[in-house]
Structure 1
Amino acid sequence: MSTVYINSASCISVQDTLNENILQNLTPESSSNIIKAIEPNYKEFIPPAMIRRMSKTVKMSSVASHYALKEAGIEQPDAIIVGTGMGCSQDSEKFLKNVIDNHEEFLTPTFFIQSTHNTVAGQVALGLQCHAYNFTYVNTSSSLEFSLLDAQLQINDGEAENVLVGSTDEQTNRTMELYCLNNTIKKETDLPVDYLKSTTNGVVWGEGASFFVVGKNKTESTYAKLKNISISNKVELNEVQDFIQNFLTQNNLSAHDIDAVILGFSGDADSNVYYTKAMDVFPDSSLLYYKHLSGEFNTASGFSTFMACHILKEQQIPEIMMINSEKKESVKNILLYNHLAGNDHSLVLLEKA
């Protein structure tokens, strides 16, 4: 497939990523096991009457998509593609609570209608009055990667020139309680978290929304070239290095050509071993991690893609993200490697535009 360009990048996250000087103002979080996104003033973007009816993930996505389109200088995208792991779980919980509280009788359909995973893509399209291709991917931690792959195919097939691609996930009280009960989220006794050398299982859970405009042509606002994506539902620990090497070979690259590798170390001892294995492939690269800044969630790779875009555009690697001391004078190729609890592995290759 031919190269496409990431022409804008917008993110709402645990960090203050809507403001300027993002790389200089990153603050790690290790003392809490559930961390919430810093939300903007929604009244500046959404009519008050609509805000009341929107779940958090829809509100975050509406603002993040607004910033992404504005930065790319586009009013109407040729397609809207959104990836989400949990969808509008806030409204799902409200609907299920209504079912229980009302003994399955006299239910209002509003929460049910708004609980579907494709609500986000639909609401963004309604706000823009955009009748183009509209699709939602629900593939746990690979949801954004599938969305980017679809955007690349749309552009390569001549179906679109500019595609709005997003990823979004929100926290809800009941789901967080269940995650604590099944030890998905770290116990408070295991805090603070050492994301790189943790000996305990469980993660710090975050949330956020990241949106990008992927385009056929390079523009003044271009951040990076999206070169290639590889996704595998299952990779055994002894296959990790081959998984990465085969991907590099497909793209006519060696490990020495990769200037920086962004790994998804989450503080979960059982699944961190995949990233430790991957590090051995890159003795000369800058090794970076990011989930101490964003938390773990289904579409946390949206945050790493956003950070990679800024690193390529600004040619700066934040000290707070560095695992080793290797620092390149210029950054041309960045490889992103992510999975969730050892499943749904993805590789994304970005290149300086």
Structure 2
Amino acid sequence: MNKTYINGVGCISTQKTFDTVFLEEAIYDNNKTVLTIIPPVYKDYISPAASRRMAKGVKNGIVASALALRDAKVENVDAIITGTGLGCIEDSEKFLKNILDNNEEFLTPTSFIQSTHNTVGAQIALNLQCKGYNFTYVNGAVSFESALLDAKMQIEENDANSILVGGIDETGDYTISLFKLAGRVKDESNLPADILNSTSSGAIYGEGGAFFVLEKDKKETTYAEVLDVAIKNTLDISEIEDEIAAFLSTNNLQVSDIDALVLGFNGNADSDIYYKTISEKAFAATPQLYYKHLSGEYDTASAFALWMAAKIIKTQEIPEIVKANSIEKPAYKTILLYNQLNGKNHSFTLISK
């Protein structure tokens, strides 16, 4: 069975994660409830004429995938697999607003055509002229993990040699206003936010896109090996430790073998209890990292986490800004990522040097 290697990464996020080494310009702004993307120079990657008609999520996806391909030193791939929670939500909002403003008459279909979830994967394929397998997963907070699992299985079974995998989501003003009404976004009265020790509900929201070139062969550009990915829809807080132990056991590992644990703390005290439970008990002696204070919460934020973990294994350095505790190890060979959203859609990803 083939191994799966991360040979190239590209990330566009609410931090400057392009044209930098690794988060040296990251800023933790705890006075915002919604973080916005730091845009690259789009015209370096997309013609201005095409760029004008694209939603920001599509543009960010194209740039992140181009960065990953360049990083892996490949020009094309056998397949493109994308994960997204809300797709091109801005264009969806635009189309629905046009319906209301024009009394359902004289509508141009452009926003509707560009609002579908698979627009990002399709645009990347058009740019690369890639006619291979192209699939988009829309599975809420495990959309990216579903794409990653699909890619890993295809490489293991020799169905593909190189696959571009990404997770991408954007914010829309109206959607965020609905999330605020539903209590999913942290209330501004609870700012400044202390994500690790939050006592209030609601998360800090964000947006972003991260892409990875996965290949069966190890190269000089290799970051890490993807050992395993697992998804569980519902888990009780009391079950989480046993679930992680079982996941590690299937990979012949135990808690002491994990050199760093990446947790998805987002400031929502109601669901961050899952992370608190394992960080204070099973993994109390393990270096712990967090990232949503930098990226914000969105359905595919775990793609940002994988980008961060891959960088840590390659550089063997952990930026101070992502440390959740002060424990350090001499080397970082095996990293476990755990994410969930509002107590549902739990995902575990294991990568190693």
- Normalised to the residue count of structure 1, the TM-score between the two structures is 0.98
1:307 alignment partner in structure 2: 308
Q: Measure how far apart 1:284 and its partner are.
A: 2.4
1:149 alignment partner in structure 2: 149
1:91 alignment partner in structure 2: 91
Secondary structure at the aligned position of 1:262 is classed as strand
Q: Measure how far apart 1:287 and its partner are.
A: 0.9
> Runs ≥4 in structure 1, deviation > 2 angstroms?
23-26
Secondary structure at the aligned position of 2:74 is classed as coil
Superposed, 1:4-23 pairs within 5 Å as 4-23=4-23
1:101 alignment partner in structure 2: 101
Superposed, 1:67-78 pairs within 5 Å as 67-78=67-78
CA distance in 1, matches of 2:3, 2:232: 21
Secondary structure at the aligned position of 2:68 is classed as helix
Secondary structure at the aligned position of 1:329 is classed as coil
User: Are the counterparts in 1 of residues 88 and 115 from structure 2 also a CA contact under 8 Å?
Assistant: yes
1:120 alignment partner in structure 2: 120
User: Are the counterparts in 2 of residues 202 and 267 from structure 1 also a CA contact under 8 Å?
Assistant: yes
2:240 alignment partner in structure 1: 240
CA distance in 1, matches of 2:114, 2:322: 37
2:175 alignment partner in structure 1: 175
RMSD, aligned CA: 1.0
CA distance in 2, matches of 1:23, 1:36: 16
2:334 alignment partner in structure 1: 333
Superposed, 1:1-353 pairs within 5 Å as 2-279=2-279, 280-352=281-353
User: Are the counterparts in 1 of residues 186 and 204 from structure 2 also a CA contact under 8 Å?
Assistant: yes
Q: Measure how far apart 1:26 and its partner are.
A: 2.2
Per-residue displacement from partner, 1:272-318 (whole Å, max 9, x unpaired)?
00001121211321011111111111111111100001100000111
CA distance in 2, matches of 1:131, 1:2: 23
Identify which range, 288-297 or 22-31, moves more after superposition.
22-31
User: Are the counterparts in 1 of residues 17 and 23 from structure 2 also a CA contact under 8 Å?
Assistant: no
- Normalised to the residue count of structure 2, the TM-score between the two structures is 0.98
Question: Which amino acid in 2 is paired with 1:302?
Answer: A
Q: Measure how far apart 1:339 and its partner are.
A: 0.7
Q: Measure how far apart 1:25 and its partner are.
A: 2.6
Secondary structure at the aligned position of 1:24 is classed as coil
User: Are the counterparts in 2 of residues 86 and 170 from structure 1 also a CA contact under 8 Å?
Assistant: yes
Secondary structure at the aligned position of 2:352 is classed as strand
Gaps of 5+ in 2: none
CA distance in 1, matches of 2:195, 2:57: 26
Question: Which amino acid in 1 is paired with 2:342?
Answer: A
Give the paired residue count.
352
Gaps of 5+ in 1: none
Question: Which amino acid in 2 is paired with 1:290?
Answer: Y
CA distance in 2, matches of 1:170, 1:209: 8
Question: Which amino acid in 2 is paired with 1:179?
Answer: F
CA distance in 1, matches of 2:21, 2:131: 35
Identify which range, 22-31 or 59-68, moves more after superposition.
22-31
Secondary structure at the aligned position of 2:196 is classed as coil
CA distance in 1, matches of 2:2, 2:51: 40
Secondary structure at the aligned position of 2:346 is classed as strand
Per-residue displacement from partner, 1:167-187 (whole Å, max 9, x unpaired)?
100011101111111111111
User: Are the counterparts in 2 of residues 16 and 22 from structure 1 also a CA contact under 8 Å?
Assistant: no
Q: Measure how far apart 1:29 and its partner are.
A: 2.2
